[in-house]
Amino acid sequence: MNKKWFAIFFMILVTAFFITILSTVHEISKDRIQEKEQIQFYRSISYASRIFPEDIKEENLPASSTTADIDWNEENLLEIFQNRIRFVRLPIVSSTKQLLETRGSFTSDSADIFIVLNENGEREGYGFPLRGKGLWGTIRAIAVVSSDLTRMVGIDFTEQSETPGLGARIMESGFKYHFRGLDLSGFLGEHPEEKPIEMVARKETSNLAYSTNRVEAITGATQTCLGILKMLNTDLPFYLDVIQENERLIKTID
């Protein structure tokens, strides 16, 4: 009986010891983990906003590179955010609330966006989060649109669990480059188009060279691309509406 109780007591001590160690490590590293997550968030916003380090040109990036491959100086990144990014929470009017039914990332009364300023402090774009469903799980992204809402400045995918070498290629610069200059006019006006954005198998010119509403899909990643397409055609009109409805409020933000 004594051996039995000794074994139980010993296991309790060992378990408590390792729990204490793990808890201590977690507490020590928690702030650093949060800091790294924040920096990654800033990098994604910068990429989507087409803001790069001075010595890096986007056209020189390898097609297979990702946002994490861009060598940012953290101090410079934080300085850019202080000077060029403004976060704001916008109220949602009743006419737009119906678009929230399946969007768990918003509150029922407001939407969080950020304003992108140029180096002179003038508004040059608006950014916001997107959420969709891929083949294997949730896809999250950050999108930035031009100040007149007619073009997409860029997009960066921040979360995905797609197949490596196929759907996971949405993280690559080569795929994301297709969204630069994407025509968003199909979302605007009294009678929006049925399919404002489309995916095509092949696109000869970039949307920066000649703006269209088409994005080149990834071969062999049909479900991932369809998920992204649905995400864009669902979330973009919501945010564009919210921004248009709050134009006066936005103009008061420094």
Domain boundaries, the chain: 46-251
- Whether the model pTM is above 0.75: yes
- For the chain, give the secondary structure using H, E and C: CHHHHHHHHHHHHHHHHHHHHHHHHHHHHHHHHHHHHHHHHHHHHHHHCCCCCCCCCHHHCCCCCCHHHCCCCHHHHHHHHHHHEEEEEEECCCCCHHHHCCCCCCCCCEEEEEEEECCCCCEEEEEEEEEEECCCCEEEEEEEEECCCCEEEEEEEEECCCCCCCHHHHHCHHHHHHHCCEECHHHCCCCCCCCCCEEECCCCCCCCCCCCCEEECCCCCHHHHHHHHHHHHHHHHHHHHHHHHCHHHHHCCC
Walk along the chain (254 residues) and give the pLDDT tens digit of each residue.
566 677 777 788 878 777 877 777 766 666 666 777 888 999 999 999 999 998 899 999 999 999 999 999 889 999 999 999 999 999 987 666 665 555 544 556 889 999 999 999 899 999 999 999 999 999 999 999 999 999 999 999 999 999 999 999 999 999 999 999 999 999 987 666 667 899 999 998 999 999 999 999 999 999 999 999 999 999 999 999 999 999 988 888 86
The structure tokens listed for 217 are: 């899909």
The structure tokens listed for 171 are: 């993280």
Q: At what angle do helices 74-84 and 2-48 cross, to 10 degrees?
A: 60
Name the burial class of residue 109, with classes exposed (0-12), middle (13-18) and buried (19+) by CB atoms within 10 angstroms of its CB: exposed
Residue 158: other Cβ atoms inside 10 A = 20
The structure tokens listed for 137 are: 């799980």
Q: Could you give the CA distance from residue 135 to residue 150 in angstroms, rounded to a whole number?
A: 30
Torsions phi, psi for 56 (to 5 deg): -120, 130
Q: Could you give the CA distance from residue 137 to residue 224 in angstroms, rounded to a whole number?
A: 10
Residue 49: other Cβ atoms inside 10 A = 23
